[in-house]
Structure 1
Amino acid sequence: MPIGLLIADDHALIREGLRKILSIEPRINVLGEATNGQQAVDFCLQNPVDIVLMDINMPVLSGLEACRIIKEKKPEIGIIALTIHDQEEYLFEMIKYGISGYVLKDVHPDRLIETILGVANGQSFIPPSLTARVLAELSRLSSSALPDKKQRTLTEREMEVLQLVARGKSNKEIAQTLYISEKTVKNHLTNIFQKIGVSDRTQAALFAIKEKIVVL
């Protein structure tokens, strides 16, 4: 079944260009377009959206605020930040609100499609040039928010899943590695997130690195 995608950008030419690029990929179905953050929120609440390409700077409601609301109400939706700004402060804000990917508007079409497909498969995409700074910032932001160790009792299988998540593996890849179903992987992830007090894969990966569950 194709990935249901929403394009959220206040520039008509950008939206048209993205739609043309993505229309050639049979695994992606552009469900609609939004010209501001509020439209993006409303569309996501009323339609079966899997992924949002979200411009950061939009009128009425910013991409940042739209991201926060969407992730609160429909956390299963993957959000990819789309911006002309190669500035890490935007990235830090979006990560705090739960984005799964970050691409510049001049990204190569193949890379954009790869990112969309990857996020739909449970992966996260952060620019390599910003990875070290992102981990440092997330570590600072979450240093006082980690739960007590008594609440972190993970089973051996959950530890294996968490280690693979921290290495950037998708649910499908984890399932293949551990010889289990993708549904079982999702169940493990739900339990892991609850036990360690996080809400997404990026935070879980950070936890694994901080606790030396995995060394990258």
Structure 2
Amino acid sequence: MNQSIHLLIADDHALIREGLRKILSIEPRIHVVGEVADGQQAVEFCTHNVVDIVLMDINMPVMNGIEACRRIKELRPNIVIIALTIHDQDEYLFELIKHGISGYVLKDVDPNQLIQTILGAARGDSFIPPALTARVLAEFSRLTSGDHHDRKHQSLTDREIEVLRQLARGQSNKAIAKILYISEKTVKNHLTNIFNKIGVEDRTQAALYAIREKLVDL
């Protein structure tokens, strides 16, 4: 990945924004293009500027991060959003996943882990802390304990199902390519087809779909 990542920091605490900027300045591939103090400013900035990734706090004045995420994804669906928060409460995570976030990182995250999460998100990967992943899986298991199933995946080819299963296990595109003996470009093409067929917009939603439909054993 040689292209610079244009990143926006959205947090209502100036000291946190300054600290994040200093941490991210270590990585030459990440270019902080702006800082905003509330969700409304984040939406406006993304509307008028080139942004690849938003590092988004949840609790902000004027407009919170969840609503800002929803609006940004409606206006600019290609923008990647990573939630950065002190909260590990399930309802925040479920709402953000529903609106298409690519990562959920707690504010006590190791700086290197934060950088790697951003670089991974730029490649199309997603990240949710393992402890929170377990809660998500438990909740989806509870919600899908009945007999209702969405059969969109029946239109997937055998290869697409294999790719989807590997994605749900947390594998990156590079890892999937190695496991299935195909190129990364082929993996990306399969993922595009999978997303279209099952009606999702990103890797996180696709992984949760696979889990909900019991296409993968974790």
| TM-score w.r.t. length of structure 2 | 0.88
Question: Aligned partner of 1:204: which letter?
Answer: A
Give per-residue Cα distances to partners, 1:22-67, cap 9 Å, x unaligned: 0011121111111111111122222221211100011121101000
Change over 3 Å in CA distance of 1:209–1:28 after alignment to 2: same
Report the CA distance shift for 1:132/1:151 in structure 2 as closer, same or farther (over 3 A). Answer: closer
Distance 2:169 2:86 in 1: 28
> Equivalent of 2:55, from 45, 50, 53?
53
2: distance between equivalents of 1:212 and 1:75? 28
The one-character-per-residue Cα deviations of 1:127-167 (angstroms, maximum 9, x if unpaired) are 211212212334556789x8752663111221221122111
Deviation per residue, 1:158-186 (Å, 9 max, x gap): 12211221111222333344444444333
Give per-residue Cα distances to partners, 1:77-114, cap 9 Å, x unaligned: 22111112232222222112111111122222111111
SS in 1 for 2:81: strand
Matches within 5 A, 1:104-143: 104-138=106-140
Unaligned runs of 5+ in 1: none
Equivalence for 1:44: 46
Which stretch has the larger CA shift, 23-32 or 71-80?
71-80
After the TM superposition, which of the residue ranges 135-144 and 109-118 deviates more from structure 2?
135-144
Cα 1:89–1:214 shift into 2, 3 Å:
same
Count of equivalent residues? 215
Structure 1 window deviating more from structure 2 (106-115 vs 62-71): it is: 106-115
CA distance in 2: counterparts of 1:55 and 1:160, whole angstroms: 35
Matching of residues 1-216 of structure 1 within 5 Å:
1-138=3-140, 148-149=150-151, 152-216=154-218
Query: Displacement of 1:13 after TM fit?
Result: 0.7
Question: What's the Cα RMSD here?
Answer: 2.3
Structure 1 window deviating more from structure 2 (59-68 vs 155-164): it is 155-164
Q: Conserved in 2, the CA contact under 8 Å of 1:92 and 1:137?
A: no
Deviates more, 1:148-157 or 1:166-175: 148-157
Q: Which amino acid aligns with 2:10?
A: A
Structure 1: distance between partners of 2:67 and 2:76: 14
AA paired with 2:33? Answer: L
Give SS of 2:155's match: coil
Distance 1:193 1:142, change over 3 A: farther
Q: Which consecutive residues of structure 2, in runs of 5 or more, have no partner in the other structure?
A: none
* SS at 1:152 equivalent: helix
